[in-house]
Amino acid sequence: MSHKTKKLEILDIDDIKSLENKNLSKKVNHYLQKTLFTIRILFRHNEENIDDLIDFYYYIEDVLDDKIYLDEDELKILIYRVTDLVLNIEDYGVCGGSILIEPLSQLEGALLLELEKFKLKILHEEDELWQEIIDSQIKDNEVEFNVLIKILGEDDVGTIKKEVATLLKQNYQQEYLTYLSRKDYLEY
- Among 79, 100, 80, which residue's Cα sits nearest to residue 91? 100
Query: Which pLDDT tens digit goes with each residue over 89-112?
Result: 888 888 888 899 999 999 999 999
pLDDT band at 140 (very low <50, low <70, confident <90, very high): very low
Could you tell me how far CA 55 lies from the centroid of its own chain?
21
Question: Residue 20: which residues within 8 A CB-CB, separation 6 or more?
Answer: 29, 64
**The pLDDT of residue 1:** 41
**The pLDDT of residue 143:** 55
3-state class (DSSP) for residue 5: coil
If one compares 144 and 68, the residue with the highest pLDDT of the two is: 68
Q: What is the DSSP letter of 106?
A: H
Overall pTM > 0.75: no
**DSSP 3-state percent helix, strand, coil across the chain (nearest 5):** 75, 0, 25
**The pLDDT of residue 154:** 82
